[in-house]
Chains A and B, each alone.
Chain A
Amino acid sequence: MTSSSLLRSFIYLYLVLFFAYLFLPLVFMMAAAFNDSRFPTMLPWQGFTLRWFQELFADQLMGRAVWNSILIGLGVVALSVPIGLAGALVLYNLQSRARTLIYGIMVSPILTPGVIIGISTLIFWRQYFGVGGGLMLAVVAQTTFIAAFAMLLILARLQRFDRTLEEAALDLGASHTWTFWRITVPFLRPALLAAALMAFLQSFENYNTTLFVIGTETTMTLNIASRVRLGLTPAVNAIAVILIALTILGAIIYELMRRAEVRRRALAAEAAA
Chain B
Amino acid sequence: MAELFRRTGPLIAWMALLTTLLWVAFMIVLPQVMMVDFSFRPSLPPSKIGGPEDVYTLKNYATLWANTIHRGIFFKTIWSSMLVTVLALAVCYPIAYHLAQVARGQAAALLIVALIVPFWVNEILRTFAWFLILSRNGIFNSALVGLGLIDRPIQFIDGNIGVMIGMVYAYILFMVFPLYNAMESLDRHQIEAARDLGASTWRIHWRVVIPHAKPGIAVGCIMTFMLSAGTIAVPRLLGGPRSRWFTEVIYSWFFDGGDWNQGAAYAFALLILCIVFILVMMRLFRVSLQDIAK
Contact = CB atoms under 8 A, between A and B. Distances in A.
The majority secondary structure among interface residues of chain B is: helix
A116 B4 CA distance: 33
Interface string B215-245: 0000000100011011111001100000000
Interface in A156-185: 163, 166, 175-177, 179-180
Interface stretch (B68-76, B183-191, B204-212, B259-267): B259-267
A169 B143 CA distance: 68
Contacts, number: 249
A40 B124 CA distance: 15
Nearest to A23: B118
B3 A95 contact: yes
Given A152-B294, A163-B7, 18 more contacts: A28-B129, A28-B132, A28-B139, A40-B132, A41-B132, A87-B20, A90-B16, A107-B292, A108-B28, A110-B293, A115-B247, A120-B32, A123-B35, A140-B27, A205-B124, A212-B251, A224-B122, A225-B237
A269 interface: no
Interface of B: 1, 3-4, 7-12, 15-20, 23-24, 26-32, 34-35, 38, 91, 94-95, 98, 102, 111, 113-118, 120-126, 128-133, 135, 137-139, 142-143, 169, 172, 201, 222, 226-227, 229-233, 236-237, 247, 250-251, 254, 260, 263-264, 267, 270-271, 274, 278, 289-290, 292-294
15 contacts: A11-B98, A28-B139, A41-B132, A41-B137, A41-B139, A93-B7, A144-B23, A144-B31, A147-B23, A152-B294, A205-B122, A221-B122, A225-B236, A228-B131, A237-B132
Contact of A29 (B1, B117, B125, B237): B125
Contacts of B274: 111-113
Contacts of B10: 176
A68 to B, nearest CB: 15
B202 to A, nearest CB: 11
A26 B172 CA distance: 15
The majority secondary structure among interface residues of chain A is: helix
A106 interface: yes
A262 B289 CA distance: 33
A207 interface: yes
A50 B1 CA distance: 60
Contacts of A166: 7
